Structure 1
Amino acid sequence: MKLDITTLEGQSAGSVDVDDAIFGLEPRADLIHRYVRWQLARRQAGTHASQGRSDVSRTRKKIYKQKGTGSARHGAASAPQFRGGGKAFGPVVRDHSHDLPKKVRALALRHALSAKAKDGSIVVLDKAAVAEPKTKALRGQFGKLGLINALVVDGSELDANFSLAARNIPNVDVLPVQGINVYDIIRREKLVLTRAAVDALEARFK
């Protein structure tokens, strides 16, 4: 498969041959879904918690005698049915993450890249670098390229000026190639890869 290469100024810079085993697969939604669930579950903090009946600071004394009152039997004011008592079956601190095989994660990433390629939503830049960290100038260049909602993936090292200029543009994310992931790919309309990122991805999957 051939992809056209463009510059930030919108000029043609040739083309690049990409591997069909990475960009030419028939996308499988089930693999992409499994990866996104795994990724978001790992991100979830799991620090939510509530006080149970053993955690609240209330007396443990039996509030009234067991028999003869005509009321239900109770042992402590910390029971959930009383105001100020503990919460029954409340959330506890826990880890929400689950396992996903490494080969499945790698395959899901290839299918996400292939899905963008199939939709014609991949833009290949010769390089993601600017002379000055000017957000207004970079936004104008993105506008010429039709990049309103995009993920920009560069090589292993990001250009400092480009990162500074892009970080205040809404709906635009910039990542090094080692940080590429399925969730960020599918949440943006366009995937912008530099020539260095394409070479790094092909080397990674070979």
Structure 2
Amino acid sequence: MDLTITTLEGKDAGKVQLSEEIFGLEPRDDILQRVVLWQLARRQQGTHQTLTRGEVARTGAKMYKQKGTGRARHHSARAPQFRGGGKAHGPVSRSHAHDLPKKVRALALRHALSAKVKASDLIIIDDLAAAEAKTKLLVSQFANLGLENALLIGGSEIDANFKLAASNIPNIDVLPVQGINVYDILRRGKLVLSKAAVEALEERFK
């Protein structure tokens, strides 16, 4: 599979041959969904916590005498049915993360890349670099390329000027190739790979 390489200025910079095993698969929604849920579960803080009747700060004395009042029998005001009492079966601090085989995660990444190719939402850029950190210039270059909502993946290190200029543009994410992931690929409309990123991905899945 051949794709045209362009520059940030929109000029033709040759062609690159993409591996069918990475960019030519038939995308499977079930695999993509599993990995997205796994990523979101790992991101969830899990710090939600409520006080049980054993933790709430309230007197433990018996509310009123057992007999003779004509009311229901109660012991502690910390019980969940009373205002100011503890919470019954409330959330507790825990990790929401769950296991997912490494092979499934790697397969999902290839399916996500293939989905972008199939939808014609993959753009190969010669080099993600800027001579100076000017956001206005980068915005005009992105407009020429039709990038309004995109994830840009560079090489092992992102050019400092490019990263600084792109950080102020809404709906534009910039990541090094080692940070590429299924959720970020799918949440953005376009996927932009540098030539170095393509080479690194093909080396990774060789």
TM range (shorter): over 0.9
- Deviation >2 Å, runs of 4+: 65-70
Counterpart of 1:178? 178
How far apart, CA to CA, are the structure 2 residues paired with 1:66 and 1:40?
51
* Displacement after TM superposition at 1:68 (Å): 3.2
* Displacement after TM superposition at 1:67 (Å): 3.1
How far apart, CA to CA, are the structure 1 residues paired with 2:145 and 2:132?
19
Matched, 1:53 2:53: yes
Equivalent runs, 1:187-198 vs 2, <5 Å? 187-198=187-198
Q: Given the two structures, how large is their TM-score scaled by the length of structure 1?
A: 0.98
How far apart, CA to CA, are the structure 2 residues paired with 1:67 and 1:39?
57
- Equivalent AA in structure 2 for residue 54 of structure 1: G
- Equivalent AA in structure 1 for residue 154 of structure 2: D
- Equivalent AA in structure 2 for residue 145 of structure 1: L
How far apart, CA to CA, are the structure 2 residues paired with 1:154 and 1:113?
15
Counterpart of 2:74? 74
How far apart, CA to CA, are the structure 2 residues paired with 1:75 and 1:178?
59
Of 31-40 and 65-74, more deviation after overlay is shown by 65-74
Equivalent runs, 1:162-173 vs 2, <5 Å? 162-173=162-173
Query: Cα deviation per residue 1:56-96 (whole Å; 9 max; x = unaligned)?
Result: 11111111223333222211011111111111111111111
Counterpart of 1:156? 156
Counterpart of 2:124? 124
Number of residues paired by the alignment? 206
How far apart, CA to CA, are the structure 2 residues paired with 1:165 and 1:155?
17
- Equivalent AA in structure 1 for residue 71 of structure 2: S
Give the % identical residues.
Answer: 68
How far apart, CA to CA, are the structure 1 residues paired with 2:3 and 2:68?
85
- Equivalent AA in structure 2 for residue 56 of structure 1: V
How far apart, CA to CA, are the structure 2 residues paired with 1:57 and 1:149?
50
Query: Cα deviation per residue 1:101-135 (whole Å; 9 max; x = unaligned)?
Result: 00000000000000000011000000000100000
Counterpart of 1:7? 7
For residue 32 of structure 1, give the secondary structure of its aligned residue in structure 2. Answer: helix
Structure 1: 5+ residue runs without aligned partners? none
Structure 2: 5+ residue runs without aligned partners? none
For residue 15 of structure 2, give the secondary structure of its aligned residue in structure 1. Answer: strand
How far apart, CA to CA, are the structure 2 residues paired with 1:103 and 1:87?
42
- Equivalent AA in structure 1 for residue 80 of structure 2: P
How far apart, CA to CA, are the structure 1 residues paired with 2:191 and 2:85?
52
How far apart, CA to CA, are the structure 1 residues paired with 2:74 and 2:156?
65
How far apart, CA to CA, are the structure 2 residues paired with 1:61 and 1:183?
53
